[in-house]
Amino acid sequence: MNKEIKEWVHLDMETIEEKPLTAAQKQQIKRNIHIKKAPKRSIKVWVSAAALGLCVLTGSYVALPTIASQVPFIENIMTRIDPNFIPQNYVNLATVIHQVESSNGIDMMIENAVYDGNTLMVTYAIKTEHDLGEQPSTATYLDIEGATGMSGVSSLEKIEKDLYTGMMKVTPHFEKAPGETIQIRWQPEKVTNIETGEEFAGDWSFAFTMDALPVTKQSVIAKSASDDAELHVKQVDFNELTTVIHYEFTIDPLIKQKYPLASVDIVKVTDNFGKEHEIHGNGGIITEEGFGHDWSLTLYTLSDEVTSITVTPEIYYVKESGEVTANMRKLMEPVTVNLVK
């Protein structure tokens, strides 16, 4: 075992200074959901794999890649990530991966992962003497076999000299309901210092499978309507990690014609105790006719005592890509959903 690996194995986590995300960084992460035209059908606009730099594999997976080392150079990554960005039970439910790949003086490691049946969450780390800045980017997101589109967010932060930790969340969209097991591959081709634009190419390859957590599904019929749009809450999924709210919407054709990028989103969720819960959006698909389907959001903080939630949708009147200002938004009527767990 060389000197560098020995240092990683005996790394003292207590000496690492925590760097939680700032409020501005959280907002940037929340906005990191990409929507663009689908390559398969020109009539749809959706969150696509291409929008995230992904290559969806349609064939069978080959054997696992040769891992440079199975020795993790850092553990308990979750303790170094903003707790608002992760579910409370993540550590207890996550599957240990501990795959390490080395290329061009950069070591990458996947520590663990969990799949709640809707969103895949993965913690990872980078060790290198290259200057990657404070918030580098790996550009390539997770690739899930059979997914026709994906939406995702990622957080990667420098926690000490030469060491970076982060988390990726990907919500795949399938034409047909997936099985209980998904196959994942991650093959980043470079790491970029966002501050300087400097790129560090490499050849890293990870592959693993994940079983979905047991889920209880509740069908829902709840609607919020206005002159310009309607939103329907269709289903609520409960598992030990998260609560996922599935919904769809329709936008009036005249509105969609005037505002080609118009959309509807749920922007507020409160429970029957009056507590407001932070929303983690998963994106979805929008057709050019204004029908939004396969949309969902995730809650990390809903307790077993909650018997109902009230969701508030908002219409976005958007003509072209860019910042959505206050005068481009309009709240719709809240709708209450009774929960049966």
Question: Tell me, what's the pLDDT at 71?
Answer: 59
Domains of the chain: 3-26+46-211 (2.60.40.1630), 216-338 (2.60.40.1640)
Question: Tell me, what's the pLDDT at 22?
Answer: 46
Helix (H, G, I), strand (E, B) or coil at 257: helix
Question: Which residues partner with 155 through β-bridges?
Answer: 167
CA distances to 42, 44, 204 from 39, in Å: 7, 9, 27
Question: Tell me, what's the pLDDT at 33?
Answer: 34
The per-residue pLDDT for range 205-250, each reduced to its tens digit, is: 999 999 999 999 999 999 999 999 999 999 999 999 999 999 999 9
pLDDT band at residue 81 using 50, 70 and 90 as cut-offs: confident
Sign of CA dihedral 317, 282, 205, 124: positive
Question: Tell me, what's the pLDDT at 321?
Answer: 83
Is residue 24 pLDDT above 80, yes or no?
A: no
Question: What percent of the chain lies above the pLDDT cut of 90?
Answer: 64
Judge whether 292 and 263 are in contact, CB under 8 Å: yes
CA distances to 29, 85, 311 from 23, in Å: 10, 12, 23
Residue 22, judged by CB atoms within 10 A of its CB (0-12, 13-18, 19+), counts as: exposed
Judge whether 135 and 231 are in contact, CB under 8 Å: no
Average pLDDT over residues 170-199: 92
Question: Tell me, what's the pLDDT at 63?
Answer: 36
- Lowest mean pLDDT of 11-25, 28-42, 67-81, 265-279, name the range: 28-42
Question: Tell me, what's the pLDDT at 198?
Answer: 97
pLDDT band at residue 323 using 50, 70 and 90 as cut-offs: confident
Average pLDDT, the chain: 82
Question: Tell me, what's the pLDDT at 140?
Answer: 83
pLDDT band at residue 122 using 50, 70 and 90 as cut-offs: very high
Any residues with CB less than 8 A from the CB of 324 and at least 6 apart, and which? 316, 318
- Closest among 126, 112, 152, 138 to 282, alpha carbons compared: 152
- Closest among 254, 277, 333, 339 to 304, alpha carbons compared: 339
Is residue 34 pLDDT above 50, yes or no?
A: no
Is residue 35 pLDDT above 60, yes or no?
A: no
Rounded CA-CA distance 328/286 in Å is: 18
Is residue 106 pLDDT above 60, yes or no?
A: yes
pLDDT band at residue 26 using 50, 70 and 90 as cut-offs: very low
Model confidence, pTM: 0.77
